[in-house]
Amino acid sequence: MRNISNYLFWMLMTVFLPFMMVGCGSSSDDDEPNVDDFDIQFTLPSTIDVPKGGEFTFMLTNGVAPRTSDYLVMESASGVSYLCPVVNATATQFTVSFSEQVVDGSYKVYLKRDQRKKLIGQTAVNIIDEVIDPQDANVYGKITAGEEPVAGVVVSDGVEVTTTDSEGIYRLKSAKKYGYVFMSIPSGYEAVSEGVLPVLYKLLPSDSKTADRADFKLNKVSGQENYKVFFLGDMHLANRTGDAAQFQQFTADLNSYTQSHYGEKMYAITLGDMTWDTYWYDNDYELSNYLKTVNSQIKNLQIFHTMGNHDNDFKATSDFTAENRYRTVLAPTYYSFNIGQVHYVVLDDIDCSNYDGTKSRNYKKGISVDQLSWLSKDLSFVPKSTPLVITMHAQVFKPVKTGGFRVDHDATNTAQFLSLIDGYKVNIVTGHTHQIYNVVPEEDVIGGRDIFEHNAGAICASWWWSGYLTPGIHVGIDGAPGGYAIWDIKGTDMEWVFKPTGKSEDYQFRSYDLNNVSFSAADVPDMPSKVAGDFEPFTKAYPANSNNEVLINVWNYNPKWTITVTTEGGQSLTPTAVWAYDPLHIAALTVPRFNNSSIKEAPNFITEEFTHFFKVTAPDADTDLTITVKDEFGHTWTEQMQRPKAFSIEAYK
């Protein structure tokens, strides 16, 4: 045994002794210390200006050079990596050949050798055609379409505004307050696309002491005399209430519509609240998740974005920091662009200056002084003969039950805003309310200006609740269907129609035979008694009766529309405008939300009394009616109403 033990001991010593000697420093005075030749350190600029497929030289800081078999790995924000080989190296610098697939954008930079890879840092890559002298500017660049420069393009940092010269070059002296620069896409061109996003802005990586170059690419296009624009109101994607599946119904509807109009020019503009800031944190669904969702479901359609209150970070403590994520992921908070003969302006009318880092979200509705200053400069390049379409999230005006409308914004800044757009023909398109209404130029609140506000409804309708509680019924708190607006632009002429998700554009109103509509406490047997008073308005609005009244909900109504109702005997009945609760919304959402023994207070998202309802009184319970609705463009929609008409959820699916 002893011989075997001695044998094993010397065998182990033979194997491990050399390592023990090295580890203990057992070397002669002439031995060189070990050097990590992968410990390469170099200066990584905040911006790399490089021609497509070109080379860039980096300066070493520790005298250790990479090998020509090494690579830089450029990893894009979307996770795609590009290998860029080292082509030569000295003790002071090395040169890398950039892959032709590398495009403008932000990249993580790694150094790779064999199986080893280490992170160096992050940079922005700017693919350039030529060297440009910034002169005394600290933001500059070139705008081209193909190989040709585009002159006269309006460019801004959100404060200063300039235009490109005859060589397509712009220069700005910028305080870089917002950290980006954007172009106002000129008529006859489109920005290149990154998924659904038109690339119309670029983040600036450096402070105001350093010059940043930002080039833009355009595509020259034809067909912008006639095109369609989809206005996409509140989506509220949050990974809750079955919103993902319901949203797919919307995108399927939109895709079907675009495919049926293949060959026509089409664009889309959101109206804010694409997400829901609470669920950025609670459900891990924020703006980048939204972008991934739409990019996976919508193709070949550029979507311009408007910022909503729920696209701000509620954990922020200033308006600027609340906007940071939105600016990084989607778009500038305000900007402009042109399509055909129309100038589009996107504004941010949610002021989060009073945010305190909690869910209180103490925001104000109004257009900031900075935006008004920028808008004045932007419009200086737009002739009064050019129609304006202006989007913002929150409504500028709101209906009053006693009649007419009131200003629903900061009064001082709204007055300045209206002054700036005076003399233009203006259509303002807003969201936020999850309702539909229209404010025509003839309303007193417009002040005699040629301004028309369209509060355009919501894709999510009642925050996806009605479809979640009652599958197949997708309606907003005013009874309007979830859906989106479709505008047809022909030169400077515009027509619009509301498109319900999953239904034809011919679905423009809904009728109720009120002899068969009633609500009572019996509908909500599980409702706690302490909230019974909150349900009472619905039972009072619709008690059991036989008054032969018919209620008509015409959700996109404006005073230029006509509504005619005639009996089967040819008698004309005069519709009377009323404010009402939509019975279908009560049945599909409000009843199931109240019929819950665990609620401690009145639930959210329940039916609201609203305008765009009309009543007629029929001669008796059996008289059939012909209801015809006609819009200002001559489109007519008719229902042959067979009475008695039963009221049930199934009848409206």
Task: Summarize pLDDT for 434-478 with one digit per residue, the tens.
Answer: 999 999 999 999 999 999 999 999 999 999 999 999 999 999 999
- Name the β-bridge partners of 424: none
Tokens of 262: 């293949």
Per-residue pLDDT for 501 more than 90?
yes
Residue 7 has pLDDT above 60, yes or no: no
Lowest model confidence (mean pLDDT) among 117-121, 523-527, 624-628? 117-121
Task: Give Cβ neighbours of residue 255 (< 8 Å, ≥ 6 apart).
Answer: 297, 298, 299
Identify the H or E element spanning 8.
helix 2-23
Report the alpha-carbon distance of residue 580 to residue 613 in Å, rounded. 6
Question: For the chain, what percent of residues have pLDDT higher than 70?
Answer: 94
| Residue 243 pLDDT greater than 90, yes or no | yes
- Listed in sequence order, the residues at least 6 apart from 16 whose beta carbon sits closer than 8 Å to its beta carbon are none
Within 10 angstroms of residue 256's Cβ, the number of other Cβ atoms is 11
Taking the C-alpha atoms of residue 582 and residue 61, their distance in angstroms, rounded to an integer, is 71
Across 606-630, average pLDDT: 98
- Residue 23 pLDDT exceeds 80: no
Residue 35 pLDDT? 45
What distance in Å separates the CA atoms of residue 499 and residue 255, rounded to the nearest whole number? Answer: 13
In which residue are the tokens 């019929």 written?
595
| Predicted local confidence at residue 127, as pLDDT | 87
Averaged pLDDT, 178-187: 97
Alpha helices in 421-505 (DSSP H): 465-469
Judged against a pLDDT cut of 70, whether residue 272 lies above it is answered with: yes
Q: With bands split at pLDDT 50, 70 and 90, how would you rate the model's confidence at 415?
A: very high
Task: Tell me which amino acid residue 15 is.
Answer: V
Domain spans in the chain, listed from the N-terminal domain onward: 47-128, 131-184, 185-191+227-500, 510-652
Distance CA 603, CA 146 (A): 56
pLDDT tens for each residue of 47-80 = 888 988 999 989 898 889 999 999 999 998 878 8
Q: What is the pLDDT of residue 52?
A: 87
Does residue 26 surpass a pLDDT of 60?
Answer: no
Q: Evaluate if residue 11 carries a pLDDT over 60.
A: no
Angle, CA 648 vertex, CA 643 and CA 652 arms, to 5° = 90
What would the mean pLDDT of 252-266 be, rounded to a whole number? 97
What's the pLDDT score for residue 2? 42
pLDDT of residue 75: 93
Q: Which residue has the tokens 């694409």?
A: 274
Whole-number pLDDT of residue 6: 44
pLDDT (0 to 100) of residue 322: 97
User: Class assignment of domain 47-128?
Assistant: mainly beta
| Beta-carbon contacts of residue 273 (< 8 Å; ≥ 6 apart) | 234, 235, 236, 308, 309, 310, 311, 393, 431, 432
- Return the exposure string of 51-83: e unless at least 16 CB atoms fall within 10 Å of the residue's CB, then b: eeeeebebebeeebbbeeebbbbbbbeeeeebe
Residue 101 has pLDDT above 80, yes or no: yes
Q: pTM value?
A: 0.86
Q: pLDDT per residue over 569-581, tens digit each?
A: 999 999 999 999 9
Q: How many CB atoms lie within 10 A of CB 534?
A: 16
CB 279 within 8 A of CB 464: no
Q: Check if CATH label 3.60.21.10 holds for domain 185-191+227-500.
A: yes
Which own/partner pairs from 196-199 qualify as long-range (CB within 8 Å, at least 24 positions apart)?
196/268, 196/291, 196/294, 196/295, 196/298, 196/301, 196/302, 196/303, 197/291, 197/302, 197/303, 197/305, 197/330, 197/331, 198/302, 198/304, 198/337, 199/104
Strand partners of residue 125: 48, 105
Q: What is the pLDDT of residue 36?
A: 54
Does the pLDDT at position 504 exceed 50? yes
Question: Using CA atoms, how far apart are residues 523 and 539, in angstroms rounded to an integer?
Answer: 10
On the question of pLDDT at 560 being above 60, the answer is yes
199 pLDDT higher than 90: yes
Query: Going edge to edge, which strands form the sheet with 154-156?
Result: 161-163, 154-156, 180-184, 201-203
Q: How do residues 126-164 score in pLDDT, each as one tens digit? A: 888 788 999 999 999 999 999 899 999 999 999 999 999
Mean pLDDT value across residues 37-44: 86
In this model, does residue 38 exceed pLDDT 90? no
Average confidence score pLDDT of the chain: 93
Does 22 score more than 70 pLDDT? no
pLDDT for 124 equals 87
